[in-house]
Structure 1
Amino acid sequence: MERRLAIKQILFLAGGMALLPSCLRDTGKSSIALQTIDVSLDQEHLLADISETIIPETKTPGAKSLNLHLFAIKMLDDCYAKEDQELFFKGLDALQDRSEAQFSRSFQKLTVPEREQLLLAIEKDEQAEPAIKKFYDIIKSKTIEGYLSSKYVMTNLVVWELVPGRWNPYYAVKSA
């Protein structure tokens, strides 16, 4: 009878140890593992809002529900040089500063038309500082790239035909 109790206690202990890392996770860190850059949770939420402004949710899922901001962060971490990463985060801070200066609110507290207006102004501004231009170029291109290569688009919107096409055995052949 004591063996059953010992096995039950060992299983509870193993289950608790399996859940322990999720309980000890730092709440201020990004939700994905990164190699070279350090993204806070606030920055991650800000990037999610920016991505959602670029590809909003309609009848199809938007950028937030497809986690395209995480794709953009991971691509920035893996594929960009250190200088580009630094420019990206300087541009992210510059976007927040521009939002504060123009609307007296942070980007996350803006309405959707105000967000669109701010991002369009950055896109059209030729004299914008290089950091904010680099940031906008990276986040927009990676958001679009992530959307076009997402599971949703590849399974629901893109119709794939294998090369050379379907074989129809009942196709009438003309004699020569």
Structure 2
Amino acid sequence: MNRRKALKIGVGLTSIATLGATIKPWFTKNLPLDSRVFSDMKDLLAELAETIIPETDTPGAKLAGVADYLLLVINDCFTIKEQRIFYQGLTVVEKMAVEKFGQSFVCCDAKIREELLTILENDDGHYQGLLYKIKRKLWGRSFLDLLKEHVVEGYCTSEAGATKGLAYQAIPMKYEGCITIGPDQKAWATR
């Protein structure tokens, strides 16, 4: 084999290897995450939901089964991009809890959990108005936005949340578009 042919083969193999290394992240980035990834984090999801809607005189998110709802929504309704954002957010929460307090988020008490979520919200909340819209368009919704929206949605559509956390009226008598709510009155659960 002469030198020119050996150089062509070497350049060709190098080009193929470089192209493969360049394309592989694109393919793996666009593959959905395995549903077991989030199933393994069910306890973390339940504690995050309970931190957002804690149990008081009404049932909390854990009792309402919001973690099961979140798993269903993540696996069946989220885009691949949202799944990846959510997974990264969950790992960041767990990592922050271990680094700052030396224990898993699930093992932390309610005050520490609130503090961690407040830190995340402050880190995420410095975008306002147009900057927020641009950020959301380029990088998608943040982990905390997705979490809060779906925790509230899961709670309000659960039986415990709709009947005990909200004022449930199975058959509304008449439509009133704007009514005054009393000081201790719950919001309505009918749609």
Shared fold, TM over 0.5: yes
Describe how 1:3-152 pairs up with structure 2 within 5 A: 37-39=35-37, 42-126=40-124, 134-152=142-160
- Quick one: distance in 2 between partners of 1:40 and 1:107? 15
RMSD: 2.7
- Structure 1 residue 137: Cα displacement: 1.8
- Quick one: distance in 2 between partners of 1:80 and 1:64? 21
Q: Which blocks of at least 5 consecutive residues in structure 1 are unaligned? A: 1-34, 166-176
- Structure 1 residue 140: Cα displacement: 1.4
1:75-109 deviation line (CA, Å, top 9, x unaligned): 11121111110121111111111111111211111
TM-score using structure 2 length: 0.59
Matched, 1:161 2:155: no
Percent of residue pairs identical? 31
C-alpha distance 164-85 of structure 1, shift in aligned 2 (>3 A): closer
Q: Which residue is equivalent to 2:182? A: none
Number of equivalent positions = 129
Shifted more, 153-162 versus 40-49: the winner is 153-162
- SS state at 2:61 partner: coil
- Quick one: distance in 1 between partners of 2:40 and 2:79? 23
